[in-house]
Amino acid sequence: MHIGIIMDGNGRWASEKGLPRSFGHRRGAKTVSEIIKACPDLGISTLTLYAFSTENWKRAAHEVESLMRLFRGYLQAKFLQIIENNIKVTFLGDTSPLPRDILNQMKNLEIKSRSNDGFFLNIAINYGGRDEIIRATKKIVKNVIDKKLNMREIDSHSFSNYLDTAGQKDPDLIIRTAGERRLSNFLLWQISYSELYFSDEMWPEFSKQSLKNAIECYKTRERKFGNLKKIAN
Ligand code: IPE
Ligand code: IPE
Ligand code: MG
């Protein structure tokens, strides 16, 4: 099973307690570790986490900086653990505007974890669904111009292979925390038939039990993919 999570509500969680928003992001990072740890037990093979959107640069410079510091620290602290736990990490998004040292760490982690196959972790950083589709389209156009690809070969299957999630199965379930009922540019192509689950909990308070509740709810859904009868999931 592939689950995608829009981890929302760090700022509100902290503000409600009279703490700075960056404190909420730090607590949010703790939740990330707990949720990754909980996945294998719950039958989740792939987890896609939305960490930073292409629109999040609009925030105050100090908040963006504190998030970049957090990514840097998280990657450093978890690097070995991720590799030792047989986790394969893939980063989704346009990495080019990220600080050089973070980018190098990300590349290094992708390379070192490339042959791991125990659990698949996608981290979406500077990710936007529209941006991803545009980047894919540009690659396709270039291949057509260079005569490496024939226009007749472009279909939904081949298109998917130009996305950051190339070769992966689409998410079965998308979870968004903090009560917001929107997708905010997350995996627009890949979620065409995903089930959606919204939790009112803020991301720092989301727990293994919250994840279990989401999965229980998912099990009651009838996935039809345009057909008339239920397709086993
Ligand atoms: C989610 O929490 C984390 C990121 C978007 C980076 P927010 O920072 O959006 O928290 P709220 O929504 O303002 O509470
Ligand atoms: C979505 O949350 C992005 C991430 C969780 C990384 P936002 O907080 O940025 O979304 P909006 O602005 O409320 O739609
Ligand atoms: Mg938010």
Name which of 156, 1, 161, 168 is nearest 90 in CA terms: 168
Taking the CA atoms of residue 159, residue 57, residue 108 and residue 123 in that order, the dihedral angle to the nearest 10 degrees is -60
Q: Does 107 reside within a domain?
A: yes
pLDDT for 231 equals 59
Average pLDDT over residues 9-25: 98
Residue 120: which domain range?
A: 2-129+173-231
- Rounded to 5 degrees, what angle do the CA atoms 202, 35, 192 make? 80
**Which ligand is closest in space to the CA of residue 14?**
1
Q: Does 99 reside within a domain?
A: yes
pTM (two decimals): 0.97
Q: What is the full DSSP assignment across 50-114? A: EEEETTGGGS-HHHHHHHHHHHHHHHHHHHHHHHHTTEEEEEES--TTS-HHHHHHHHHHHHHTT
Q: Does 198 reside within a domain?
A: yes
Q: Does 155 reside within a domain?
A: no
**Which ligand is closest in space to the CA of residue 202?**
1
Q: Does 124 reside within a domain?
A: yes
User: What is the rounded distance in angstroms from the CA atom of residue 196 to the CA atom of residue 191?
Assistant: 9
8 catalytic per annotation = yes
CB burial of residue 132 (10 Å; 0-12, 13-18, 19+) = buried
Question: CB–CB of 104/60 below 8 Å?
Answer: no
Which pLDDT tens digit goes with each residue over 54-96? 999 999 999 999 999 999 999 999 999 999 999 999 999 999 9
56 catalytic per annotation = yes
Instruction: Find out whether the beta carbon of 171 lies less than 6 Å from any atom of ligand 1.
Output: no
**Number of residues in the chain:** 233
Domain count, the chain: 1
Instruction: Find out whether the beta carbon of 9 lies less than 6 Å from any atom of ligand 1.
Output: yes
Distance 47 CA to ligand 1 centre (A): 19
Which pLDDT tens digit goes with each residue over 38-54? 999 999 999 999 999 99
